[in-house]
Structures are given as C-alpha cells and as structure tokens.
C-alpha cells in the first residue's frame, strides 16, 4: 500500500509506463519536478503535448516528420530505388549523421521479439512490401540492429524478400554483435552501410 497521495500515485504510474523508467526513477523524476519552479513543470508538460500534436510518422517511410511526407521521402535528389530498413526513427538520424547514404528509408517501428510478444503484424512490414510492389525498387538494405531481435527481423524479412526480384543486403559485420545503432560512432555506421553484404538464401 503506497503512502503517497492520489495525485503523486497517478503521476508515478504514468511515468512508470514509459520505457526504461521503473518505480525508483519515477519517484526521482517527481521529486525533481516538485523542487523546480512551476514554469519548468509547465514547459515540460507543454513540450510533451506539442510533440504529440506536431510530429507525425511519415506516410511513406514512418520516419518522424512535421509534414505528412518526411524531408527525405520528398527529396528528389535522394535515390528512391534503394530502401534502407531500420527499426526506429533514431536509427535514421544516426545513419544520416554518419553521412554517405543517399537512398531512402523504411522504419519498421520496432523489431521482432518473441520475449516481448512483437510479431510481424506489429511492425510496418506490410507497408514495406506495398512500397516494393508499387515502385521501382532496386535494393533493400536490412539495417536492423546487429543484436538478437534485429538479426531475427533481418532473417525474417530476407526470407520474404527472396521472392521479390530485388537485391537484398545486410549491414556488414564490422558492427559489433549485440549492439545497436545509437551506441555506434558515425564512422562505424558509414562503413557498415558501405560494406553491406548481399544476402543469398539457400532455397
Ligand atoms: Zn518518409
């Protein structure tokens, strides 16, 4: 039974539902907010509401965007025949920062995960195939994270993609196993994309 008031308990349970926040962190955040002035709390709340109102997922690639179509999908100087498949919008940012990639993206909004109960229907996989079937796509680069879930997702996609008449490649193994893009330096990301390996499935 908690000793906190109803107001605090409500905020604790709201914060606890955020990824990576446990009960202890939720308490620390609340005491931090209580110690700051009201303007800080209002600015924080406003920023949360504003991001929810103004930022959308791009209708084509599911990257974050302030418009229906993101700045990458709407850029005619990008190569729209190459799609780099990533897990999250933050992976797009990491690859863009690394530089050297001029194709477009497809953000799955997650990775397959048996432990977390994430199956193919929870990811933007159908939408990826709609893109492949509706446009002139030459190559799909599987740039899901080089960890267990990312590899499982890449394997699943490569088996489906084998039925399509396109080139399939996977980011090179220069990327440390078990890692994710957000922890890699820009040079490693750029090399992993440049040295991507074609996938040849044994039928
Ligand atoms: Zn887009």
Distance 30 CA to ligand 1 centre (A): 36
Residue 163 lies in a domain: yes
Asked whether residue 50 falls in the same domain as residue 81, the answer is no
- 114: domain CATH number? 3.40.1360.10
Residue 1 lies in a domain: no
Residues above pLDDT 70, as percent of the chain:
94
Asked whether residue 45 falls in the same domain as residue 83, the answer is no
Residue 203 lies in a domain: no
Asked whether residue 93 falls in the same domain as residue 170, the answer is yes
Asked whether the predicted pLDDT for residue 126 surpasses 80, the reply is: yes
- pLDDT tens-digit map of 86-110: 999 999 999 999 888 999 999 999 9
Own/partner long-range contacts of 130-135 (Cβ < 8 Å, ≥24 apart): 131/60, 131/83, 131/106, 132/83, 132/161, 132/164, 132/166, 135/80
Distance 60 CA to ligand 1 centre (A): 5
Distance 69 CA to ligand 1 centre (A): 5
pLDDT at 194: 78
d(CA 50, CA 107): 22
Residue 179 lies in a domain: yes
Asked whether residue 113 falls in the same domain as residue 142, the answer is yes
Q: Which position has the higher pLDDT, 147 or 79?
A: 79
Q: Global pTM? A: 0.78
Cα–Cα distance list, 59 to 28, 67, 73, 83, 129 (Å): 37, 9, 9, 15, 14
The number of angstroms, rounded, from the C-alpha of 184 to the middle of its chain's C-alpha atoms is 15
Asked whether residue 122 falls in the same domain as residue 170, the answer is yes
Asked whether residue 109 falls in the same domain as residue 20, the answer is no
Distance 155 CA to ligand 1 centre (A): 24
Helix (H, G, I), strand (E, B) or coil at 139: strand
Asked whether residue 176 falls in the same domain as residue 102, the answer is yes
Residues 137, 142, 144: CA angle, nearest 5 degrees: 140
Distance 127 CA to ligand 1 centre (A): 12
Residue 64 lies in a domain: no
* E strand map for 36-95: 56-57, 64-65, 79-86
Distance 139 CA to ligand 1 centre (A): 17
Asked whether residue 83 falls in the same domain as residue 163, the answer is yes
Residue 150 lies in a domain: yes
- pLDDT tens-digit map of 2-54: 588 999 999 999 999 998 899 999 999 999 999 999 999 999 999 999 999 99
Asked whether the predicted pLDDT for residue 65 surpasses 60, the reply is: yes
- Say if CB 112 and CB 153 are below 8 A apart: yes
Residue 172 lies in a domain: yes
Distance 24 CA to ligand 1 centre (A): 37
Asked whether residue 96 falls in the same domain as residue 178, the answer is yes
Distance 17 CA to ligand 1 centre (A): 28
| Structural domains counted in the chain | 2
Go through the chain and tell me how many residues it has. Answer: 203
Distance 73 CA to ligand 1 centre (A): 4
Distance 105 CA to ligand 1 centre (A): 7
**By residue range, what is the domain housing residue 43?**
6-54
Q: Which position has the higher pLDDT, 180 or 128?
A: 128
- pLDDT tens-digit map of 138-173: 999 999 988 889 999 999 999 999 989 899 998 876
Distance 64 CA to ligand 1 centre (A): 8
d(CA 23, CA 18): 11
- 46: domain CATH number? 1.10.8.420
d(CA 102, CA 82): 8
Q: In which element (H, E) is residue 106 found?
A: strand 103-107
Asked whether residue 145 falls in the same domain as residue 45, the answer is no
- Say if CB 144 and CB 124 are below 8 A apart: no
Asked whether residue 96 falls in the same domain as residue 141, the answer is yes
Asked whether residue 177 falls in the same domain as residue 87, the answer is yes
Residue 61 lies in a domain: no
Distance 56 CA to ligand 1 centre (A): 10
* E strand map for 49-94: 56-57, 64-65, 79-86
């Amino acid at each position: 039974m908690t000793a906190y008031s109803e107001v605090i308990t409500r905020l604790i349970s709201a914060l606890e539902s955020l990824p990576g926040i446990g009960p202890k962190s939720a308490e620390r955040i609340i005491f931090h907010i209580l110690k700051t002035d009201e303007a800080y709390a209002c600015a924080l709340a406003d920023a949360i509401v504003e991001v929810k109102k103004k930022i959308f997922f791009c209708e084509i690639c599911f990257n974050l965007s302030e418009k229906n179509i993101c700045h990458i999908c709407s850029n005619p100087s990008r190569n729209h025949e190459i799609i780099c498949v990533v897990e999250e919008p933050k992976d797009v940012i990491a690859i863009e920062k690394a530089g050297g990639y001029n194709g477009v993206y497809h953000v799955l909004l997650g990775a397959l995960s048996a432990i977390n109960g994430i199956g193919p229907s929870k990811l933007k996989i159908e939408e990826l195939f709609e893109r492949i079937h509706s446009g002139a796509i030459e190559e799909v680069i599987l740039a899901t994270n080089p960890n267990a879930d990312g590899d499982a997702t890449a394997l699943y996609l490569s088996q489906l993609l084998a039925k399509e008449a396109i080139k399939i490649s996977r980011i090179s193994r220069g990327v440390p196993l078990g890692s994710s893009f957000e922890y890699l330096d820009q040079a490693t990301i750029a090399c992993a994309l440049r040295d991507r390996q074609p996938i040849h499935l044994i039928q």
